[in-house]
């Protein structure tokens, strides 16, 4: 898989691959795809929610690209689409014919609210003029509420939602998703990371650890996944459960997490984007717990309310 992953990352388009990669695909990967039920799969698409980078890289290693599509009900479907000739990792592809896009209120990195225009944009919500005016401006542009950026070649990258945008007490705008993704990438033991800091003096974060799901109920258990256990061993811990790590504040694991967060902080665009406090929760987020919706989207408002005591403690300590 590493051979094919390296080749697909080096050459993301559909141009012919070197003989070594083709042999690996024919002799090994084709059998793996067959065993997984992908033998006849020609193209695969995802939408509605972001996909973990690890998942996309896994499928790339199997020589299966996961293409992305972006659109809304209000835009009558797809506005951006990736495919064999316009694929880039983590991108939603390029604008489809007949549509126009612009980004408004862009930040220093060029990310702004995605606005769409074209014949496919809806006329408005039936008998809800106030709601219509909230999302369609006087020039007919649909304000999606999504934040994204366009690269020099016109590829769209979704970076968050306006509703998710954190505005600190100092007036700094912080998009939480890139920072949360960076923490998960830096620390393989972390499953969910949620950034906090709206109207606060600094940023903090709630973390959950990767755990095994109950095969019958799909509820998170106390037992760490194989990857999480391996991480613990690498940093000098014998822990195999979440309760042992959190209950004893496992020194090796907590030190490794702090070091990982500091590495993320060093890459931040400004000090206001630094994570200054964090806590590991005793249980992973789940649908039954209320933290995740049916499409596995993080319900930030629920998390803020459910773990209010922990969050408040971050800032009470600061004020003492």
Across the chain, where does the E strand assignment appear?
44-46, 66-72, 77-81, 94-95, 99-104, 112-118, 142-150, 156-161, 166-167, 173-174, 190-196, 203-209, 211-213, 220-224, 275-280
User: Is the pLDDT confidence value at 121 over 80?
Assistant: yes
> Three-state DSSP class for 227?
helix
Which residue in this structure is represented by tokens 């007490």? 169
pTM of the shown model = 0.71
Percent of residues, the chain, with pLDDT higher than 90 = 70
pLDDT recorded at residue 136: 95
Exposed/middle/buried for 12, CB within 10 Å: 0-12, 13-18, 19+? Answer: middle
**How does pLDDT run across 62-84, given as a tens digit for each residue?**
999 999 999 999 999 899 999 98
Q: 15 or 41, which is more confident?
A: 41
**How does pLDDT run across 265-308, given as a tens digit for each residue?**
999 989 999 999 999 999 999 999 999 988 788 999 999 999 99
Exposed/middle/buried for 42, CB within 10 Å: 0-12, 13-18, 19+? Answer: exposed
User: Is the pLDDT confidence value at 15 over 80?
Assistant: no
pLDDT recorded at residue 314: 95
pLDDT recorded at residue 173: 86
Average pLDDT, stretch 98-109? 90
User: Is the pLDDT confidence value at 320 over 70?
Assistant: no
**How does pLDDT run across 200-225, given as a tens digit for each residue?**
999 999 999 999 999 999 899 999 99
User: Is the pLDDT confidence value at 318 over 60?
Assistant: no
User: Is the pLDDT confidence value at 30 over 50?
Assistant: yes
**How does pLDDT run across 127-171, given as a tens digit for each residue?**
999 999 999 999 999 999 999 999 999 999 998 888 888 989 988
User: What's the CA gap between 26 and 4, in Å, rounded?
Assistant: 11
pLDDT recorded at residue 4: 82
List of domains in the chain: 1-64 (no CATH), 67-161 (2.30.38.10), 166-319 (3.30.300.30)
Percent of residues, the chain, with pLDDT higher than 70 = 98
User: Is the pLDDT confidence value at 317 over 70?
Assistant: no
pLDDT recorded at residue 256: 98
Q: 27 or 160, which is more confident?
A: 27
- Lowest mean per-residue pLDDT among 7-11, 88-92, 167-171, 251-255: 7-11
End-to-end CA distance of the chain: 53
């Amino acid at each position: 898989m590493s051979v094919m992953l390296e080749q697909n990352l080096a050459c993301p388009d559909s141009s012919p691959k070197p003989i070594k990669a083709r042999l690996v695909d024919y002799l090994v990967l084709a059998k793996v795809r067959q065993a997984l039920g992908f033998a006849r799969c020609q193209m695969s698409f995802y939408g509605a929610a972001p996909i973990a980078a690890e998942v996309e890289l896994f499928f790339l290693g199997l020589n299966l690209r996961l293409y992305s599509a972006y659109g809304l009900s209000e835009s009558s479907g797809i506005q951006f689409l990736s495919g064999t000739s316009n694929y880039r990792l983590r991108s939603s592809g390029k604008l489809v014919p007949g549509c126009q896009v612009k980004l408004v209120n862009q930040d220093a990195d060029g990310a702004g609210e995605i606005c769409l225009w074209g014949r496919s944009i809806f006329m408005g919500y039936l008998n809800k003029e106030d709601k219509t005016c909230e999302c369609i401006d006087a020039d007919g542009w649909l304000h999606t509420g999504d934040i994204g950026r366009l690269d020099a070649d016109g590829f769209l990258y979704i970076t968050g939602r306006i509703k998710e945008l954190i505005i600190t007490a100092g007036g700094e705008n912080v998009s939480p998703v890139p920072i949360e993704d960076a923490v998960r990438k830096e620390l393989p033991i972390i499953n969910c990371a949620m950034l906090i800091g709206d109207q606060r003096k600094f940023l903090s974060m709630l973390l959950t650890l990767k755990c095994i799901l109950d095969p019958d109920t799909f509820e998170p258990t106390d037992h760490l996944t194989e990857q999480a256990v391996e991480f613990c061993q690498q940093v000098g811990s014998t822990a195999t459960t979440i309760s042992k790590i959190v209950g004893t504040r496992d020194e090796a694991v907590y030190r490794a997490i702090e070091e990982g967060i500091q590495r993320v902080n060093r890459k931040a665009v400004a000090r206001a984007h630094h994570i200054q406090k964090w806590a590991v929760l005793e249980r992973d987020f789940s649908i039954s717990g209320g933290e995740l919706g049916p499409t596995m989207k993080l319900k930030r408002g629920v998390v803020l309310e459910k773990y209010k005591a922990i969050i408040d403690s971050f800032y009470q300590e600061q004020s003492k």
